[in-house]
Structure 1
Amino acid sequence: MSKSARNKNARKTKNALTQRETPWGAIAFFTLIGVVATVVIGYAFMQSRPSSADDASIAGMVTKDGLGRDHTTSPVKYETDPPMGGDHDAAWNNCNGRVYDAPLRNENAVHSLEHGAVWFAYRPGLPAAQLDALKAKVTGTDYTFLSPYPSLDAPIVLSAWGRQLKLQDASDKRADQFLRAFVKGPQTPEPGAPCDGGKDTP
């Protein structure tokens, strides 16, 4: 066989190997699966954690940064009433959807805030229907707790670490915004630390 014939046969063999059909159907399928998965994960993340712009849009919310985090057995003089962070007792109040019937010690409640809990405080004498609405909201949401707080200057105050919101009515939609933003929120020093195994009494 001549050299030119051998080269021609080699080119034919090479072309047969390289001209295999590209599996466009499989590529398109897995690309689509990847895109859908990315969209779903992104949407779930956005639903579970609002952006800082959303957090800031909660009308009337007070913000305080740079709060102390030391443990102490002494009473702490807090800047706000109720407090929304600062030095605190080494024991936290259980905050796994817990409803308390008596006022809590601030120093224990603040430790719960450090773990990512939202504290619902209400002024004694709150109408029964509103109190029931708060109880339903708290018992259905982990990392929350509810207690009376006699010295409140508003009927209801929601506190998270470094964040606080005063409400006149339990039906105020800002309560749900606050929960979405600050249950184990991004500003929390120890988000997801235990909410049980602490103090179950005031």
Structure 2
Amino acid sequence: MILGIIGVLLIVVSIFMYQLAFKQNKDNHSKLKKEQKAALKQKSRTTRALAHSMLGVAVILVIVALFQTLGSKYDIGTLNYDTPIEVTTDKDYGGGHSEMPVVYEMKLPTSGTHSPHDLKFGFYEEKPPTEKLVHNLEHGDILIYYRPDASQEIIDSIKYLVHFKKAGAGVLSAPSTDIPEGKEVVVNAWTKTMELSKYDEKKIGAFIYQNINKGPEQIPANIRRGGGTM
């Protein structure tokens, strides 16, 4: 915030200096001696150069401030809500790879044989192959399943939550017709399931905070940038 304010102030000052340099060039110098004219031209060039430098610094400060603002908005620590959540620990069915379709014991599996390819983090309007979603869970990602007829309020909240990351792990969301009757959302991590009868952003946030980046195959952020097959 402070960097942004400083950047804006520098932009204002640099604009003033550009105007000053323009005025120095525009003024009538006909009665001045050659040396005085040269001195004024040099002064104008110096003013413009200083204005260029200040503007460059200002732009950098504003960009840094914007990145800091975005970073703090999706700081995983902000999801550390003091709210109780009920999480089921599921059977671990392993994590082998297969290019073939897999028949899972669970309708919304949290482990098991899966595709060698994973998916990018983010919100999906259509459900991707389950085999790929399970691969994401293996890397410590969080998966939020929503009903195809979910309200716009729920959709907007989920679209906010899928921006959170920790190390090389992130959040995905997809629709599913396999959500149990009476439940609005199901949230999965590797061998972990939370079902909610009523959508609760804080409970989902707490689940993300407690379970993200805890899969059996964790990959650093500099290698796994945003999910997707490496």
TM bin, normalised by shorter chain, reads 0.5 to 0.7
In structure 2, the residue matched to 1:150 is 177
Identity of paired residues, percent? 26
Do 2:157 and 2:201's aligned partners in 1 also have CA atoms closer than 8 Å? no
Do 1:112 and 1:195's aligned partners in 2 also have CA atoms closer than 8 Å? no
In structure 2, the residue matched to 1:93 is 119
Q: For 2:212 and 2:94, locate their aligned partners in 1 and report how far apart those are by CA, in whole Å.
A: 20
Do 1:133 and 1:170's aligned partners in 2 also have CA atoms closer than 8 Å? no
Structure showing the higher helix proportion among its residues? 2
SS of 2:162 mapped into structure 1: helix
Change over 3 Å in CA distance of 1:113–1:195 after alignment to 2:
farther
In structure 2, the residue matched to 1:75 is 101
Question: What letter corresponds to residue 105 of structure 2 in structure 1?
Answer: E
Q: Which runs of 5+ in 1 are unaligned?
A: 1-46
Q: TM-score, normalised by structure 1?
A: 0.63
Q: For 1:120 and 1:196, locate their aligned partners in 2 and report how far apart those are by CA, in whole Å.
A: 16
Equivalences, count? 142
In structure 1, the residue matched to 2:147 is 123
Aligned-pair CA distance for 1:140: 3.9
In structure 2, the residue matched to 1:9 is none
Matched, 1:108 2:135: no
Question: What letter corresponds to residue 204 of structure 2 in structure 1?
Answer: A
Do 1:114 and 1:190's aligned partners in 2 also have CA atoms closer than 8 Å? yes
Do 1:94 and 1:196's aligned partners in 2 also have CA atoms closer than 8 Å? yes
Q: For 1:167 and 1:133, locate their aligned partners in 2 and report how far apart those are by CA, in whole Å.
A: 15
Matched, 1:198 2:224: no
Aligned-pair CA distance for 1:158: 0.5
Aligned-pair CA distance for 1:169: 2.9
1:60-81 deviation digits (Å, cap 9, x = unpaired): x111243211100111121222
Runs of 4+ in 1 over 3 A off after TM superposition: none
In structure 1, the residue matched to 2:192 is 163
Aligned-pair CA distance for 1:138: 1.3
Of stretches 122-131 and 172-181 in structure 1, the one that deviates more from structure 2 is 172-181
Aligned-pair CA distance for 1:195: 5.5
Aligned-pair CA distance for 1:123: 1.0
Q: TM-score, normalised by structure 2?
A: 0.56
In structure 1, the residue matched to 2:205 is 176
1:81-107 deviation digits (Å, cap 9, x = unpaired): 211111100000112xx1111111000
In structure 1, the residue matched to 2:49 is none
SS of 1:101 mapped into structure 2: coil
